[in-house]
Structure 1
Amino acid sequence: MLIAIWFSSNSVKGKAALQLSREIGVQYKTAWVLLMKLREAITWRREEMRLDGEFEIDGKYAGGHIRPENKAEDRIDRRLKKYQNMKRLCALAIRQRGLGGQTFTRIIRDEDSNAAWAAVRVAGDNGLCGRAWQL
């Protein structure tokens, strides 16, 4: 089990069950069950974690890129709302300050203050939040 945890945590995008089965020399079903139990344990641990004190919030938008046309006269302004792709999501990271700080991630639609503070209330203990945003 420790080898499976080590292999899956040291890979960039996680580990596929087939690749893990090859690396540790077990059947595919065994590797799949190991990975599912590991992911379940991580999810359970994450639900129990709480942040307190000061934290920092940052977001990154991903997805929804539309390849522009080659000819400049055929291009449209993608900055306008009517031409934007609505598949774009924001990955919000909430990091507790300090050396032993924990990090929470949430996927939200927009990086506005309401969505960010809602995620902080879910992650934070007793709603304690310090200088999350300095406007």
Structure 2
Amino acid sequence: MNQPQHLRGDYRHFQPITTRWHDNDIYGHVNNVTYYSYFDSAVNAYLIAEGGLDIHDGAVVGFVVSSSCDYFASIAFPDAIEVGLRIGKLGNSSVQYELAIFKAGEEQACAAGRFVHVFVDRASNRPVAIPDTLRAAMEHLLTT
């Protein structure tokens, strides 16, 4: 089965990630569930730095409501990796991130995935419009 290519040039932002010894599983490569942690870390680092997301005291938080990942090549500690980030869909209260994991300096992704955040009021857990500062940061990553 031919997998679609996920190339470095297709992504708008890159977040370096340090693989850790305990990321490897018994088979000697990074365990599949750890990729989701890399995705989550890359997105939240971007939202905090570029969109002003206040993860501790902010009135709005993002809940992950959907996620997936396809794997093309293994990574393992101590590989230096980068998570490529772009946004495929930006709604009123939700956003779909598209992500890919690249070994440093490589053009082809080792894995590619997506997840959806729905932004909610911290107190009520009810969906709210994405705050303007976050929306502006996300618009820089739109692919369309």
Normalised to the residue count of structure 2, the TM-score between the two structures is 0.26
Greater per-residue helix proportion? 1
Greater per-residue strand proportion? 2
* Structure of higher CA gyration radius: 1
